[in-house]
Structure 1
Amino acid sequence: MLGVVLMVVGLVVPVARGIWLEVPSSGTKCVSEELHSKVVVLADYFVVGDEHHINNTIVPTISVKVTSPYGNNLYHQENVTHGQFAFTTTESGNYLACFWIDNSHKGDRGMSVGLDWKTGIAAKDWDSVAKKEKIEGLELELQKLEGAVEAIHDNLIYLKDREADMREVSEKTNARVAWLSIMSLGVCVVVSIFQLLYLKRYFQKKKLI
């Protein structure tokens, strides 16, 4: 039963992912994830050397930059082949991680970069927790499950708040569109009246009516 519950939680809360990125020889390759505030993020990245790079005995280096939804710089490294970054989100929105090949290694070939991106309970060091609290087996799995349930609860609250914000924006937009439509209709009516008065005077002067 516990295994089934853990599997369901894993399907509901995708908190870890392994990504292979094809970084072009020129330009930038970015990945993003929408996160709410107070979420722990832990990521490892590494350059995957292909046969061409191995034969040249030179592993090209990359630059990495991670930014928050408001453009704050959370992590920036240059001339590296691997590394790790970790942070706790303070803003809700899309967090962006960008990779590009350093100028000294640019050529006609791109490269592959492996990215192990973990958030929430997946970023937690459960081995340290188990040693510190002296728990193992079923008790440890239950604690993981508790963390997963809390993550689901936080996500639901975040989605509910976001839905309320989007509904408020939609209602304001609809109200503005309605007022604009009324104003446009009023302008059309006024212009039509002036046109009728002008035509009436014109025909009266010409003694056509």
Structure 2
Amino acid sequence: MLKKLAFLVVATLVTIQSVAAFSIDVPPQEQRCFVEMLDKDDNLHVSFQVGDGGNLDIDFWITNPSGELVEDARRSPSETFNHVALTKGRYEYCFSNAFSTVTDKTLSFNVIVVKAYVEDTSKSVNRSRWIAAYARTHKADPLANELRELAAGIEEIVNEQEYTIARERTHRNTAESTNWRVMWWSLFQSGLLFVVCAFQITYLKRFFEVKRVV
């Protein structure tokens, strides 16, 4: 039983080809694009969160090997996309700040590529492909389904944590900026009050001075 469970855990994990987390800055009037090479039926998962800059929004899209738009979001603060590749080839996803003229946008995003199960009929099957074939053969196994659901749940938790961290960073930056402005405004008011008081004292002192006629 333990051996079978270990096989199923590994089979679930080997289907995830790559997991990557990034943080980038997108200057105004510019865009940042990235490329993933996918096979047919691979699942490209992209989630992003704008953490700083302007109205915390950005344009996003995914294009297939033919250059056709398959997913997009306009001026969005955060989104999650799951796209299943219909054809093998080069898939490009971009973050664009072209609509902004002065403000940089800082964002964090995750990319997960989940490989489709592929049965290898070759005699020289390596271990990872053998495990994938095993998982495919036992795809109706309730335990395998539970493991896949668990993996999806963990992925969702990670995305929520990253969203919370990005929002916390944004609120912290706003609070620090507000505190800084309040401090300087208070110092300005104190200085202005001191100048006004000095002027009033000097003026009143001159007003009550007795002028002698020589």
Using the size of structure 2 for normalisation, the TM-score is: 0.46
Normalized per residue, the structure richer in helix is 1
Using the size of structure 1 for normalisation, the TM-score is: 0.47
